[in-house]
Amino acid sequence: MIAIDPSHPLTVATVTQPIDFKLIEGNSPAITPAEVLEFRVDEMPDKTEAIASMAERCQEVGKHALFTVRMPEEGGKNKLSSETRLEAFDQIRSGIDGVACFFDIEVASLADNRFKKLALALSENHRVILSQHDFDKTPDINWETLREAQAEIPNSIIKLAYRLHTGLDLGKLCNGVTDMRNSGSLVAAMGMGELGPISRVTLASLGSVLNYGFLSQSNAPGQWSAAKLADILHLIKS
Protein backbone atom coordinates (compact mmCIF):
# COMPACT_ATOMS: atom_id res chain seq x y z
CA MET A 1 0.00 0.00 0.00
CA ILE A 2 1.33 3.44 -0.94
CA ALA A 3 1.80 5.64 2.12
CA ILE A 4 0.20 9.10 1.99
CA ASP A 5 1.30 11.99 4.21
CA PRO A 6 -1.27 14.83 4.07
CA SER A 7 1.43 17.30 5.08
CA HIS A 8 3.45 16.39 1.98
CA PRO A 9 1.43 17.20 -1.18
CA LEU A 10 2.43 15.04 -4.14
CA THR A 11 2.74 16.21 -7.73
CA VAL A 12 1.12 14.10 -10.43
CA ALA A 13 2.32 14.32 -14.05
CA THR A 14 -0.31 13.20 -16.55
CA VAL A 15 0.83 11.05 -19.46
CA THR A 16 -1.50 11.24 -22.46
CA GLN A 17 0.58 10.05 -25.42
CA PRO A 18 2.87 7.08 -26.11
CA ILE A 19 5.81 9.33 -26.97
CA ASP A 20 6.00 10.17 -23.27
CA PHE A 21 6.94 6.54 -22.51
CA LYS A 22 10.43 7.29 -23.84
CA LEU A 23 10.84 10.00 -21.21
CA ILE A 24 10.00 7.48 -18.50
CA GLU A 25 12.09 4.67 -19.94
CA GLY A 26 15.09 7.00 -20.15
CA ASN A 27 14.40 8.55 -16.73
CA SER A 28 14.38 11.95 -18.40
CA PRO A 29 14.81 15.05 -16.22
CA ALA A 30 11.34 16.02 -17.44
CA ILE A 31 9.77 13.46 -15.08
CA THR A 32 12.03 14.21 -12.10
CA PRO A 33 9.78 16.68 -10.22
CA ALA A 34 6.69 14.44 -10.13
CA GLU A 35 6.22 11.72 -7.53
CA VAL A 36 3.31 10.13 -9.43
CA LEU A 37 2.82 9.49 -13.15
CA GLU A 38 -0.81 9.22 -14.29
CA PHE A 39 -1.40 7.13 -17.40
CA ARG A 40 -4.62 8.12 -19.17
CA VAL A 41 -5.52 4.75 -20.63
CA ASP A 42 -8.66 6.14 -22.24
CA GLU A 43 -6.49 8.45 -24.36
CA MET A 44 -4.30 5.53 -25.48
CA PRO A 45 -6.66 2.53 -25.51
CA ASP A 46 -4.52 0.57 -27.98
CA LYS A 47 -1.50 0.82 -25.66
CA THR A 48 -2.95 -0.83 -22.55
CA GLU A 49 -0.37 -3.62 -22.41
CA ALA A 50 2.51 -1.17 -22.80
CA ILE A 51 0.97 1.11 -20.17
CA ALA A 52 0.74 -1.76 -17.66
CA SER A 53 4.46 -2.39 -18.13
CA MET A 54 5.16 1.17 -17.02
CA ALA A 55 4.30 0.32 -13.39
CA GLU A 56 7.56 -1.55 -12.87
CA ARG A 57 9.56 1.11 -14.71
CA CYS A 58 8.01 3.83 -12.53
CA GLN A 59 9.05 1.90 -9.44
CA GLU A 60 12.60 1.60 -10.79
CA VAL A 61 12.91 5.38 -11.17
CA GLY A 62 11.29 6.13 -7.80
CA LYS A 63 7.79 7.04 -8.98
CA HIS A 64 4.31 5.66 -8.44
CA ALA A 65 2.05 4.77 -11.38
CA LEU A 66 -1.57 5.93 -11.52
CA PHE A 67 -3.95 4.33 -14.01
CA THR A 68 -7.07 6.12 -15.24
CA VAL A 69 -9.65 4.81 -17.71
CA ARG A 70 -11.97 7.81 -17.59
CA MET A 71 -15.70 7.46 -18.28
CA PRO A 72 -16.87 9.58 -21.26
CA GLU A 73 -19.40 11.48 -19.13
CA GLU A 74 -16.56 12.95 -17.07
CA GLY A 75 -14.06 13.82 -19.76
CA GLY A 76 -12.95 10.40 -20.97
CA LYS A 77 -11.64 10.14 -24.52
CA ASN A 78 -12.59 7.71 -27.30
CA LYS A 79 -16.10 7.06 -25.92
CA LEU A 80 -15.09 3.84 -24.17
CA SER A 81 -17.97 1.65 -22.97
CA SER A 82 -18.13 0.37 -19.40
CA GLU A 83 -17.20 -3.09 -20.67
CA THR A 84 -14.15 -1.78 -22.50
CA ARG A 85 -13.06 0.21 -19.46
CA LEU A 86 -13.41 -2.82 -17.18
CA GLU A 87 -11.41 -4.93 -19.64
CA ALA A 88 -8.66 -2.29 -19.64
CA PHE A 89 -8.53 -2.24 -15.84
CA ASP A 90 -8.31 -6.04 -15.78
CA GLN A 91 -5.51 -6.03 -18.33
CA ILE A 92 -3.56 -3.51 -16.27
CA ARG A 93 -4.13 -5.43 -13.03
CA SER A 94 -2.72 -8.58 -14.60
CA GLY A 95 0.25 -6.71 -16.06
CA ILE A 96 1.60 -4.71 -13.12
CA ASP A 97 3.28 -7.70 -11.48
CA GLY A 98 2.43 -6.89 -7.87
CA VAL A 99 3.62 -3.28 -7.92
CA ALA A 100 1.54 -1.05 -5.62
CA CYS A 101 -0.16 1.65 -7.70
CA PHE A 102 -2.95 4.21 -7.77
CA PHE A 103 -6.18 3.50 -9.69
CA ASP A 104 -8.76 6.18 -10.52
CA ILE A 105 -12.43 5.17 -10.57
CA GLU A 106 -15.20 7.77 -10.67
CA VAL A 107 -17.66 8.05 -7.81
CA ALA A 108 -20.40 7.84 -10.45
CA SER A 109 -19.01 4.52 -11.70
CA LEU A 110 -19.61 2.94 -8.30
CA ALA A 111 -23.34 2.87 -9.14
CA ASP A 112 -22.36 -0.01 -11.43
CA ASN A 113 -21.70 -2.91 -9.06
CA ARG A 114 -18.94 -4.20 -11.34
CA PHE A 115 -16.90 -1.08 -10.70
CA LYS A 116 -17.62 -1.20 -6.98
CA LYS A 117 -16.32 -4.77 -6.84
CA LEU A 118 -13.28 -3.69 -8.83
CA ALA A 119 -12.59 -0.80 -6.45
CA LEU A 120 -12.90 -3.06 -3.42
CA ALA A 121 -10.58 -5.65 -4.94
CA LEU A 122 -8.02 -3.00 -5.87
CA SER A 123 -8.13 -1.41 -2.41
CA GLU A 124 -6.58 -4.51 -0.86
CA ASN A 125 -3.16 -3.61 -2.31
CA HIS A 126 -3.52 -0.28 -4.09
CA ARG A 127 -4.74 3.26 -3.49
CA VAL A 128 -8.09 3.85 -5.15
CA ILE A 129 -8.90 7.42 -6.16
CA LEU A 130 -12.65 8.09 -6.17
CA SER A 131 -13.02 10.99 -8.58
CA GLN A 132 -15.67 13.46 -9.63
CA HIS A 133 -15.37 15.96 -12.50
CA ASP A 134 -17.43 18.81 -13.90
CA PHE A 135 -15.92 20.69 -16.85
CA ASP A 136 -18.72 23.28 -16.94
CA LYS A 137 -19.22 24.44 -13.37
CA THR A 138 -18.64 23.92 -9.68
CA PRO A 139 -21.69 21.93 -8.56
CA ASP A 140 -23.34 21.92 -5.17
CA ILE A 141 -20.98 19.46 -3.50
CA ASN A 142 -22.56 16.77 -1.34
CA TRP A 143 -19.67 16.15 1.03
CA GLU A 144 -21.61 13.58 3.03
CA THR A 145 -22.18 11.45 -0.08
CA LEU A 146 -18.48 11.67 -0.86
CA ARG A 147 -17.56 10.60 2.67
CA GLU A 148 -19.95 7.64 2.40
CA ALA A 149 -18.35 6.56 -0.89
CA GLN A 150 -14.91 6.87 0.66
CA ALA A 151 -15.97 4.83 3.69
CA GLU A 152 -17.06 1.98 1.39
CA ILE A 153 -13.65 1.73 -0.29
CA PRO A 154 -10.80 1.31 2.25
CA ASN A 155 -7.69 3.48 1.91
CA SER A 156 -9.30 5.58 -0.83
CA ILE A 157 -8.75 9.21 -1.81
CA ILE A 158 -11.54 11.54 -2.91
CA LYS A 159 -10.55 13.57 -5.98
CA LEU A 160 -12.57 16.59 -7.17
CA ALA A 161 -11.95 18.59 -10.34
CA TYR A 162 -14.43 21.34 -11.22
CA ARG A 163 -14.50 24.39 -13.47
CA LEU A 164 -14.28 27.52 -11.33
CA HIS A 165 -16.02 30.72 -12.40
CA THR A 166 -15.76 32.81 -9.24
CA GLY A 167 -13.86 33.10 -6.00
CA LEU A 168 -16.93 31.61 -4.30
CA ASP A 169 -16.44 28.44 -6.33
CA LEU A 170 -12.86 28.22 -5.13
CA GLY A 171 -14.06 28.89 -1.60
CA LYS A 172 -16.34 25.84 -1.76
CA LEU A 173 -13.37 23.63 -2.53
CA CYS A 174 -11.12 25.29 0.03
CA ASN A 175 -13.67 24.85 2.82
CA GLY A 176 -14.40 21.28 1.82
CA VAL A 177 -10.75 20.24 1.60
CA THR A 178 -10.09 21.79 5.01
CA ASP A 179 -13.07 19.98 6.58
CA MET A 180 -12.16 16.67 4.95
CA ARG A 181 -8.57 16.89 6.09
CA ASN A 182 -9.59 17.85 9.63
CA SER A 183 -11.83 14.76 9.75
CA GLY A 184 -8.94 12.52 8.70
CA SER A 185 -10.08 11.96 5.11
CA LEU A 186 -7.66 11.97 2.19
CA VAL A 187 -8.72 14.38 -0.53
CA ALA A 188 -7.32 15.80 -3.76
CA ALA A 189 -8.97 18.86 -5.29
CA MET A 190 -8.31 21.23 -8.15
CA GLY A 191 -10.04 23.81 -10.29
CA MET A 192 -10.19 24.23 -14.04
CA GLY A 193 -10.46 27.37 -16.16
CA GLU A 194 -8.94 30.78 -15.51
CA LEU A 195 -8.81 30.17 -11.77
CA GLY A 196 -7.33 26.73 -12.29
CA PRO A 197 -3.65 27.57 -11.78
CA ILE A 198 -4.07 29.51 -8.54
CA SER A 199 -6.59 26.96 -7.24
CA ARG A 200 -4.11 24.11 -7.59
CA VAL A 201 -1.50 25.88 -5.51
CA THR A 202 -4.04 27.10 -2.93
CA LEU A 203 -5.66 23.69 -2.47
CA ALA A 204 -2.29 21.95 -2.21
CA SER A 205 -1.39 24.30 0.62
CA LEU A 206 -4.65 23.35 2.38
CA GLY A 207 -4.05 19.61 2.20
CA SER A 208 -4.85 18.35 -1.29
CA VAL A 209 -2.68 15.22 -1.32
CA LEU A 210 -2.47 14.79 -5.12
CA ASN A 211 -1.90 17.80 -7.35
CA TYR A 212 -2.05 17.37 -11.08
CA GLY A 213 0.03 18.88 -13.86
CA PHE A 214 0.92 17.63 -17.32
CA LEU A 215 4.10 15.92 -18.45
CA SER A 216 4.28 17.21 -22.03
CA GLN A 217 0.72 18.02 -23.14
CA SER A 218 -2.11 19.57 -21.13
CA ASN A 219 -5.39 17.65 -20.95
CA ALA A 220 -7.40 20.04 -18.77
CA PRO A 221 -7.98 23.82 -18.84
CA GLY A 222 -5.99 25.77 -16.26
CA GLN A 223 -3.36 23.09 -15.73
CA TRP A 224 0.28 23.82 -14.85
CA SER A 225 3.08 21.70 -16.21
CA ALA A 226 4.01 19.16 -13.54
CA ALA A 227 7.54 20.57 -13.39
CA LYS A 228 6.34 24.11 -12.71
CA LEU A 229 3.73 22.97 -10.20
CA ALA A 230 6.30 20.87 -8.34
CA ASP A 231 8.64 23.86 -8.11
CA ILE A 232 5.87 26.00 -6.61
CA LEU A 233 4.84 23.29 -4.13
CA HIS A 234 8.47 22.91 -3.08
CA LEU A 235 8.54 26.61 -2.22
CA ILE A 236 5.34 26.23 -0.19
CA LYS A 237 6.78 23.32 1.79
CA SER A 238 10.17 24.92 2.42
How distant, in Å, are the alpha carbons of 42, 111, 116, 158, 235 from that of 209?
A: 24, 25, 23, 10, 16
More confident residue, 236 or 227: 227
Of the pLDDT bands very low, low, confident and very high (cuts 50, 70, 90), residue 231 is confident
At what angle are helices 167-182 and 196-206 packed, to 10 degrees?
A: 20
Mean pLDDT (the chain, rounded): 90
Mean pLDDT in residue range 209-226: 81
Mean pLDDT in residue range 50-62: 87
- Report which DSSP code applies to 225: B
Of the pLDDT bands very low, low, confident and very high (cuts 50, 70, 90), residue 81 is very high
Q: What percent of the chain has pLDDT over 90?
A: 61
State pLDDT tens for residues 86-112. 999 999 998 887 889 999 999 999 999
Residue 227's pLDDT is what? 85
State pLDDT tens for residues 23-53. 787 776 666 778 999 999 999 988 898 898 8
Per-domain boundaries in the chain: 10-233
Of the pLDDT bands very low, low, confident and very high (cuts 50, 70, 90), residue 238 is low
CA distance 38 to 89: 14
Q: How many CB atoms lie within 10 A of CB 61?
A: 14
- pTM for the structure as a whole: 0.93
Contacts of 76 (CB under 8 A, 6+ apart): 42, 69, 70, 85
The CATH homologous superfamily for domain 10-233 is Aldolase class I (3.20.20.70)
Residue 203's pLDDT is what? 94
Q: Which residues pair with 104 in a beta bridge?
A: 68, 129
CA neighbours closer than 13 Å in the CB half-sphere of residue 22: 4
Residue 233's pLDDT is what? 83
Mean pLDDT in residue range 68-77: 94
Residue 29's pLDDT is what? 66
State pLDDT tens for residues 130-180. 999 999 999 998 999 999 999 999 999 999 999 999 999 999 999 999 999
pLDDT surpasses 90 at 21: no
**Of 191, 193, 188, 184, which is closest to residue 206 (Cα–Cα)?**
188
pLDDT surpasses 80 at 237: no
Of the pLDDT bands very low, low, confident and very high (cuts 50, 70, 90), residue 218 is confident
